[in-house]
Structure 1
Amino acid sequence: MESESVKPVYGEVHKCTIELPGWIDGKSRYRAIVEAMKKNGNWPCQGTRTYLPDGKRGEYVWEDGNTVLSKINKLALGLKELGLKKGDKVGIMSKNRPEWTIADIACTSQGCVVVPIYDSYGPDNCKFIISSTEQVCVFVGHDNVNFMREACSHCPTVKNIILFDGTPPDEEYIRSVNASDKETRKGIEEIGFSHLYSEIMEMGGKQLNANPFVQIENPEMAFDDLATIVFTSGTSGVPKGAMLSDHSLLKGGWTLSGRATNVPYQDIIVSYLPLAHIFQRSIEIVALTLGIGIGYFSGSIPQLTDDLFHLKPTLFPVVPRVLSKICMAIKDKISKSGAVTRSLFKAAYFLRQKAMIDEWPTMAISNPIMKKVSSMFGGRLRVVFCGSAPLSPDIGRFLNVVMGGRVLEGYGQTEACGASFAMIEVDHNYGSVGHILPGVEACLMSVPEMGYLATANPPQGEVCLRGWPVFMGYYNDPEATKRTLADGWLHTGDVGQWLPGGQLKIIDRLKNVFKLQQGEFVYVEDIEGCLATSDVIDQIMIYGEPLMSGLVAIVVPNKKALLAWGKETGSTLDGYEEAKKSFMTSRPSPSSSSSLVSSQSDSSFSTKAGWSDDNEYEFLCTFQPAIAFVAEHIHKRLVEAKRKGFEIPRSIFMTPVEFSIENGQLTPTHKARREVIKAVYRKQLDEMSRSLQ
Structure 2
Amino acid sequence: MAYQSNVEYLLHHVTQQKEHVYLHQPVEGQWQTFTWGEVEQQARKIAAAIKSQNYPAKSRIGILSKNCAQWFIADLAIMMADMVSVPIFFNANEKSISHIIKHSELKAIFVGKLDELESSNAGIPEDVLRISFPYPTIPANANWQEWLNEFEPLDDIYLPKAEENATIIYTSGSTGVPKGVPLTHANIMSAAVCAVDEMKVKSTDRFMSYLPLAHITERSLIEGVSMVSGCSIYFVESLDTFIDNVKHAKPTRFISVPRLWLKFQSEILAKIPQRKLEFLLKVPFVGQLISKKIRKNLGFECVERFGSGSAPTPPSVIHWYQKLGICLEEGWGMSETSGLSCGNNPFSEQDIGTIGRPLSCVEMKLSDEDEILIRGEAVFSGYYLNPEADENAFADGWFRTGDRGEVTDTGAFKIIGRLKEEFKTSKGKYVTPAPIEGKLCASSNIELACVTGAGLKQPVALIVLAESANSNKEGLATELSQTLAEVNNTLERHQHLDYLYVCKDIWTIENGLLTPTLKIKRGSIEDKYGAILTDDLTPAGGVIFE
- What is the rounded CA distance, in whole Å, between the counterparts of 1:509 and 1:294 in structure 2? 34
The alpha-carbon deviation at position 79 of structure 1 amounts to 1.3
CA contact (8 A) 1:409 1:434 kept: yes
Look up the equivalent residue of 2:50 and give its one-letter code: L
Look up the SS of the partner of 1:530 in the other structure.
helix
Partner residue, 2:282: 346
Which residue does the alignment assign to 2:512?
664
Correspondence for 2:88:
117
Deviation at 1:329, TM superposition (A): 2.4
Deviation at 1:164, TM superposition (A): 0.7
Higher relative contact order (CA 8 A, sep 6+): 1
In our comparison, the structure showing a higher alpha carbon Rg is: 1
Show the counterpart of 2:157.
Answer: 216
Distance 1:558 1:275 in 2: 26
Query: Which runs of 5 or more structure 2 residues have no equivalent in the other structure?
Result: 539-546
1:245-644 map, 5 Å: 245-264=184-203, 266-283=204-221, 284-298=223-237, 300-335=238-273, 343-347=279-283, 367-378=288-299, 379-402=301-324, 404-428=325-349, 429-447=351-369, 461-545=370-454, 547-558=455-466, 560-564=468-472, 566=474, 627=477, 629=478, 632-640=481-489, 642-644=490-492
Residue matched to 2:541? none
Structure 1 stretch displaced more, 126-135 or 41-50: 41-50
Indicate how the Cα distance of structure 1 residues 647 and 68 shifts in structure 2: closer, same or farther if over 3 A, else same: same
Summarize the alignment of residues 57-136 of structure 1 with structure 2, pairs less than 5 Å apart: 57-58=29-30, 60-136=31-107
Amino acid at match of 1:345: L
CA distance in structure 2 between the partners assigned to 1:255 and 1:263 by the alignment: 13
Secondary structure, counterpart of 1:472 in structure 2: coil
CA RMSD of aligned residues (A): 2.3
Question: What does the per-residue CA deviation read over 1:564-607, in whole Å, with 9 as the maximum and x for residues that have no partner?
Answer: 454xx5xxxxxxxxxxxxxxxxxxxxxxxxxxxxxxxxxxxxxx
Q: Mark the CA change 1:559 to 1:151 in structure 2 (over 3 Å): closer, same or farther.
A: closer
The letter for the 2-side match of 1:556 is V
Residues 180-207 of structure 1 deviation map (CA, whole Å, 9 limit, x = unaligned): xxxxxxxxxxx83111012222343x25
How many Å separate the matches in 2 of 1:223 and 1:463? 27
Q: Give the aligned residue type for 1:464.
A: L
Q: 1:147 to 1:639 in 2, by over 3 A?
A: closer
Q: CA deviation at 1:399?
A: 1.6
* Offset of residue 151 of structure 1: 2.0
Assess if the C-alpha contact under 8 Å between 1:114 and 1:228 holds in 2: yes
TM-score (norm 1): 0.73
Fraction of identical pairs, as percent = 28
* Contact kept? 1:382, 1:406, Cα under 8 Å: no
Task: Find the residue that maps to 1:473 and give its secondary structure.
Answer: coil
CA distance in 1, matches of 2:244, 2:485: 37
CA contact (8 A) 1:29 1:249 kept: no
Q: CA deviation at 1:336?
A: 7.3
Displacement of 1:522 after TM fit?
0.9
Q: 1:421 and 1:148 mapped to 2: Cα distance?
A: 34
Look up the SS of the partner of 2:514 in the other structure.
coil
The answer to whether the 8 A contact 1:163-1:195 is kept is yes
- The residue type paired with residue 163 of structure 2 is D
Once the two structures are superposed, residues 141-171 of structure 1 have per-residue CA deviations (whole angstroms, 9 ceiling, x without a partner) of 1546654442233x64x2x110111x5xx3x
Picking from 124, 128, 141, the partner of 1:152 is 124
SS of 2:471's partner is helix
- 1:656 corresponds to which letter in structure 2? K
Within 2, Cα distance between the matches of 1:376 and 1:248? 38
2:58 match: secondary structure: coil
- SS of equivalent to 1:563: coil
**Which of 157, 163, 171 is the equivalent residue of 2:132?**
163
Cα pair 1:319 1:670 within 8 Å, conserved? no
Q: TM-score, normalised by structure 2?
A: 0.92
Asked whether the equivalents of residues 142 and 163 of structure 1 are also in contact (C-alpha less than 8 Å), the reply is: no
SS of the residue corresponding to residue 119 of structure 1 reads coil
Q: Does the aligned pair in 1 maintain the 2:464–2:506 contact within 8 Å?
A: yes
1:112/1:123 CA distance change after superposition, 3 Å = same
- How much does 1:419 deviate? 1.1
Between 31-40 and 134-143, report the one with greater CA deviation: 31-40
Letter in 1 for 2:327: R
Three-state SS of the structure 2 residue aligned to 1:82 is coil
Q: How many angstroms does 1:375 deviate by?
A: 1.0
Q: Distance in 2 between matches of 1:141 and 1:207?
A: 22
Q: What's the CA shift string for 1:32-60, capped at 9, x where partnerless? A: 22123322233321001242xxxxx24x3
1:200 maps to 2:177: no
- Residue correspondences, number: 534
- CA drift of 1:217 comes to 1.5
Contact kept? 2:93, 2:119, Cα under 8 Å: no
The code of the aligned residue for 2:439 comes to: C
Pair 260,282 (structure 1): closer, same or farther in 2 beyond 3 Å: same
Q: Tell me, in whole angstroms, the C-alpha distance in 2 between the residues paired with 1:559 and 1:87.
A: 46
Greater helix share, 1 or 2? 1
Q: Partner letter of residue 416 of structure 1?
A: T
SS where residue 287 of structure 1 aligns? Answer: helix
Which SS does the other structure have where 1:301 is aligned? coil
